[in-house]
Amino acid sequence: MDVARESAGMVAEETLDPPDWAEVQALSRRAVDEAVNYLRDVRDRPVWREMPADVRGMFRAPLPRSPTPLAAVYGEVSRTVMSYPMGNIHPRFWSWYMGSSNFTGALGDFLAAIQGSNLGGGNHAAGLMDSQVVNWCKEMLGFPASASGTLVSGGSMANIIGLTVARNVKAGVDVREHGVSAIEKPLRFYGSDQIHACHRKAMEALGLGNRALRRIPTDAGLRIDIDALRAAISEDRAAGFKPACVIGTAGTVNTGAIDDLRALARLAREEDLWFHVDGCIGALIAIAPHNAHRVAGIELADSVALDPHKWLHAPFEVGCALVRNAAAHRGAFVVTQEYLELTPRGIASGEWLLDYGLQMSRGFRALKVWMALKEHGVEKFGRLIDQNIAQISYLAGLIEAEPSLELSAAPTINIVCFRYQPGLAGEALKALNTEIMLRLQEQGIAALSDTTVHGEHWLRVAITNHRTRRDDLDLLIHEVVRLGREITAQGHVSS
Ligand SMILES: *Cc1c(COP(=O)(O)O)cnc(C)c1O
């Protein structure tokens, strides 16, 4: 004690804490007020806008060496970052596939950072809440309570967790110890030709290689063709491969197609394959009363990846991997570390959550999910999913009713593809629709994306948005037709 006091007297020790807490309190109140207004007024701002050169230039400033008052730091963030967002919290953002966040979740992220716990594990409240949110995810999907799971950065990581367990269980050798080169028969994984690109990355990272993931053709509804899958499995067996895992997709990113999960579960059982479901889009449909039947069978999977930062609208990032066989899950990742021995009491008497994945230090992702679920109740999230699916049907109806628009196919869930069609084909049609998409973005009206389905280019709308209203969709149709006419009248599409 004396030594400490003595040294404190001799050394000017520094801290990151502010010299004046009252000042920080005032600034924080302002930041929170402005943040609330930012969300309240989001509809009045453009979905997206291009950054002027001077704002862009701010991001080339070199490493700051001397201090800046916090108020000035905050001011710069307001002018730059807050003013030029991607746009996905806006009611008319329907590009790619992401959630639209929520205030309570943001408050949760703030409090998680303030409380500061490391979710690598240990005996503390945040650790218990992390496990509780995993348990809630199991409950939402009808997974058994004995299953395990982990919160990760997103769906891609959640898929890697599931596929890693699948590989290790099916390898036939101790692949953790001896590596993939010790596997006797090369493993084969299967998914549809609509499978998400993260699985390719996973296969590469797992050392199995992209070619070990066989893409199986899809039917007219873009669901995996079960007969073709069965044929591929027996062909591979005959050729000396070991069929190891089938990946079902509950909601493809192109069109929202949902593979026949019950049929896949049955086939996996018959063929002794691991059954993984990529439910990043659709797993949570299990909580939506009008549509839950579409994902029946998901509860039969050996592992599932789901994405609370999509249809639970949690602020980025949070994904979740669930594994039916908890021992297999731990067996894929647990490492005994001498400096992490559990103690009978104290902080190290809890569970090491790091044993369920690749990360050691982990953020407190659970709080933002927990707070929003607690505030609204899971039933409301289910209704919001039904609402988005109903909105897409409504939009498909508007598209069909408008002679200058062409619908790709009737939507299954919350994704629809369409295009403006003035009687063009091929590259000219693609260029026209791309131009419509870009002008919608640049004029701040709406954010759509595009895709290619069966070789055809389409504009794509995915509504994972609790702020979207039907009048936003009326506006979209009106503006697409207006821009289509305008660009066609200008006689060029490359501006
Ligand atoms: C979004 C998505 C992923 C990847 O999830 P991230 O959270 O973006 O990492 C994987 N599969 C499907 C079907 C998806 O829609």
Task: Return the pLDDT at 9.
Answer: 61
Residue to probe by mutation, ligand 1, list 94, 156, 200, most atoms within 8 Å of CB: 156
- pLDDT, tens digit (0-9, with 9 covering 90-100), for 323-365: 999 999 999 999 977 777 888 999 999 889 999 999 999 999 9
3-state secondary structure 420-434: ECCCCCHHHHHHHHH
| Residues in CB range of 97: below 8 A, 6 or more apart | 253, 280, 281, 310, 415, 462, 464
Q: Which fold has domain 379-490?
A: Aspartate Aminotransferase, domain 1 (3.90.1150)
Q: Does domain 117-375 have CATH number 3.30.565.10?
A: no
Closest CA to 183 of 255, 233, 241, 141: 241
Q: Ligand 1: residues whose CB is within 6 Å?
A: 97, 154-156, 196, 198, 249, 253, 278, 280-281, 307, 319
What are the boundaries of each domain within the chain?
Answer: 117-375, 379-490
Q: Would the CA dihedral through 454, 459, 462, 463 be positive or negative?
A: negative
- pLDDT, tens digit (0-9, with 9 covering 90-100), for 138-187: 999 999 999 999 999 999 999 999 999 999 999 999 999 999 999 999 99
From ligand 1's centre to the CA of 428, what distance in Å? 31
pLDDT of 104 strictly over 50: yes
Task: Return the pLDDT at 336.
Answer: 79
- pLDDT, tens digit (0-9, with 9 covering 90-100), for 418-451: 999 999 999 999 999 999 999 999 999 999 999 9
Residue to probe by mutation, ligand 1, list 88, 157, 198, 298, most atoms within 8 Å of CB: 198
Please provide the average confidence, as pLDDT, over all residues in the chain. Answer: 96
Range 35-39 average pLDDT: 98
Residue 97 sits at the vertex; the CA angle it makes with 104 and 401, to the nearest 5 degrees, is 110
Distance CA 491, CA 488 (A): 5
Is the pTM of the predicted complex or chain greater than 0.85? Answer: yes
State in Å, rounded, how far the first CA of the chain is from the last one: 73
